[in-house]
Amino acid sequence: MFRITADTYEFENGTITESLTLHEAYSGGRKVQMGVITQALNMVDSFMFEILPNNDGYKKLKKTATWIKVFDINANRDIFHGRVITIDNRMRGDGMFVERVVCESRLGVLNDSIWRTRTNDSTVQSFLTSLLDRHNAEVVNNPMAVLQLGNINVAQNFAGQLLFDIGIKTFDAIFESLIGVYGGEIWLNGDTINYIVDPVKKSNVEIRLAKNLKTLTLRSETGGFFTRLVVEGGVVSTSPDGLTTRLSLRDGNFHPTDYVENADDVKEFGVITEYVTFDEFTEISQLPQLLESAKNYLESMSKKQVQYIVDALDLSRIGLETESFELGTYYPVINNVMGIDDDLRVVKKQIDIITPSKSKLTMGDMFMTSTQHQDLLRNFGQRIRDLRGGIGSLTRREVHIDV
């Protein structure tokens, strides 16, 4: 059960000009028509909901000035706090007028400021302090946008380079210069930003077939998949008419071809060619480094990011479990049909405000090669065939395998 409230602020003096209740937990109280919270690691959370004209908040909410809070009564804590970013008024097919509201969590305020100068900070602590000081100076008239720096335990030996172009958003500066290079996660607790490694929180609550697991989908993402990589180094000569020649793996009979390939992937998927240049290599003596760089690039780009999309019942809502599913926590996921018995981490979570027993979880963020992925799918299929052959029929359940 949830309670949803809305506070509209006056930025000049930081005071609340109007407070409203949009949704109440008890029967017969104010209600939103639909509401979904989406949480994900290292992302700005979102909350989308719809209200009818008889709701107290209809046409009273204001973009960026109205802050929405969702309180989970079962857990006795807020699960979302953020501001309104879009409001759409529409008429549904049944003739009913509704207002659809989209909100972003407080972390999104880091997109309200830009970085105007370059920096040469020597530690993550000083770098983040510089960013937040600049951010807070720009948004000083909005008390909800002012943030503090909390715990840091990632990449203390900061490279201290001149970073990013002037004008980049503070949010992008943090993610491109820190998380994209050193990893780690940004967690916002109230108005405090923490930059930490995976805290490795494990739960004993099982997600199991025939208990609370409804559906499970294997999702893989490859980007631009290829099996052969044609590679060249930097420019070594330019003709009078402007044509350039680059360092090639075949120069000096160093390598029999101008490409590298993954033999297993070629056998499985055929030849799919891509091209890349490494401008830093221009000398014959650098051909070993060029070849090594090409192999590393091919290996990294041939790996799939694999996640499990889990539709599970949150049994804590009806008193059958002691805790609900939480973002960032590891849970034992067991599906004997698909051969899964592992602790998987929730990296994304969708919460249905109207039907809270339903949770859609994205778990995993594992990486495997394309051939490993194909073997996984074959094993799934073989297990299902073996079970069907052994017992004649299976209890009817959904098993999704997305490629």
pLDDT digits (tens, 9 = 90+) for 346-400: 988 999 998 877 778 888 764 444 444 445 444 444 444 444 444 333 333 333 3
Model pLDDT, residue 382: 46
**Could you tell me if 215 and 352 lie in one domain?**
yes
Model pLDDT, residue 145: 92
Q: Which residues of 326-364 are buried (b: 16+ CB within 10 A; e: fewer)?
A: ebbbbbbbbbeebebeeebbbbbbbbebeebeebbbbbb
Give the model confidence (pLDDT) of 98-143 as tens digits. 999 999 999 999 999 987 666 666 688 888 888 899 999 999 888 8
Confidence label for 92 from pLDDT (cuts 50, 70 and 90): confident
How are beta strands 185-189 and 273-277 bridged, if at all?
Answer: unpaired
% of the chain at pLDDT higher than 90: 41
Of 184 and 256, more confident: 256
Model pLDDT, residue 400: 39
**Could you tell me if 98 and 121 lie in one domain?**
no
**Could you tell me if 283 and 371 lie in one domain?**
no
**Could you tell me if 296 and 348 lie in one domain?**
no
**Based on the structure, what is the number of domains in the chain?**
4
pLDDT of 402 > 50? The answer is: no
Of 41 and 357, more confident: 41
Of 25 and 231, more confident: 231
Of 7 and 12, more confident: 7
Average pLDDT over residues 242-268: 91
Contacts 24+ apart (CB under 8 A), 8-13: 8/60, 8/61, 8/62, 8/65, 8/66, 8/67, 9/65, 9/66, 9/67, 9/142, 9/143, 9/144, 10/65, 11/65, 11/141, 11/142, 12/141
pLDDT of 285 > 90? The answer is: yes
Model pLDDT, residue 86: 96
Cα distance between residue 398 and residue 403, in whole Å? 16
Model pLDDT, residue 18: 93
**Could you tell me if 65 and 172 lie in one domain?**
no
pLDDT of 41 > 60? The answer is: yes
Q: Which domain holds residue 291?
A: 228-301
**Could you tell me if 393 and 310 lie in one domain?**
yes
